[in-house]
């Protein structure tokens, strides 16, 4: 790169702060994902993420320390931290890794809700309880995090007055979960949906 450009005002006050912002965004995003992977038990990938994260951080902090007279670099560094946290949380929500336990407490007829959950191939455990308004049924089911929205919709539709709570769980042994379509089954479905060309 042209040394004159590196010494220019445009690079000092615009390009460099933007580069620091991008680098900081990347390293904080990786740090957020690293913490998520640790909490979910995915420990094999964590050291690699940590290595890249710290490497990027060292590069960005070096530039800040070399340009202590440039307050825009501070803004880029702090802004990258905020943006990296936001991006990391978005990626975490998109990945939706791990399992969650859904605890549902119902006062009225619970069987339609249980049937609907079992129809989705979810394991269900039912316990008797006693609440402030009398006897209740406590329904436990462990759900993959990416399926939790669908299960919540089922609860709202069949028992809108039910109380429920959701908690993350780190490890679950055995269990019943919905089977997802494999890539091959999806291709088979598409292949069968397209009619074969007729011979002339």
Q: DSSP 3-state assignment of 90?
A: helix
Which of 67, 95, 123 delimits the end of a domain?
95
Residues in the chain with pLDDT values less than 70: 1-2, 6, 170-200
68 and 160 share one domain: no
CB neighbour class for 135 (10 Å; exposed up to 12, middle 13-18, buried from 19)? exposed
Which of 64, 95, 126 delimits the end of a domain?
95
65 and 102 share one domain: no
| Domain extent at residue 76 | 3-95
User: pLDDT (tens digit, 9 = 90+) per residue, 142-198?
Assistant: 998 888 999 999 999 999 889 999 998 866 665 555 665 444 444 444 344 444 545
Place of tokens 């905020």: 82
165 and 124 share one domain: yes
Which of 95, 118, 136 delimits the end of a domain?
95
What is this structure's pTM?
0.69
pLDDT at 137: 92
23 and 80 share one domain: yes
CA angle 98/103/105 to nearest 5° reads 165
33 and 126 share one domain: no
Q: Is residue 141 a contact partner of residue 122, using CB atoms and an 8 Å limit?
A: yes
> How many domains does the chain contain in total?
2
CATH of the domain at 165: 3.30.70.120
49 and 140 share one domain: no
């Amino acid at each position: 790169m042209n040394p004159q450009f590196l010494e220019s005002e445009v690079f000092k006050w615009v390009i460099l702060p933007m580069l620091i912002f991008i680098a900081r965004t990347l390293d904080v995003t990786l740090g957020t994902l690293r913490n998520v992977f640790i909490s979910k038990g995915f420990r094999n990938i964590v050291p690699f993420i940590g290595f890249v994260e710290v490497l990027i951080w060292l590069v960005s902090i070096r530039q800040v320390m070399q340009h202590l007279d440039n307050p825009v670099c501070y803004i880029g560094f702090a802004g990258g931290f905020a943006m990296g946290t936001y991006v990391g949380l978005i990626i975490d929500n998109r990945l939706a890794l791990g399992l969650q336990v859904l605890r549902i407490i119902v006062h009225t007829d619970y069987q339609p809700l249980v049937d609907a959950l079992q129809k989705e191939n979810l394991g269900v455990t039912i316990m008797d309880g006693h609440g402030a308004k009398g006897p209740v049924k406590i329904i436990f089911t462990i759900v993959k995090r990416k399926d939790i929205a669908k299960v919540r919709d089922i609860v709202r539709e069949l028992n809108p007055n039910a109380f429920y709570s959701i908690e993350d769980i780190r490890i679950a042994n055995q269990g019943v979960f919905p089977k997802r379509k494999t890539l091959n089954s999806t291709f088979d479905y598409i292949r069968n949906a397209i009619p074969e060309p007729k011979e002339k």
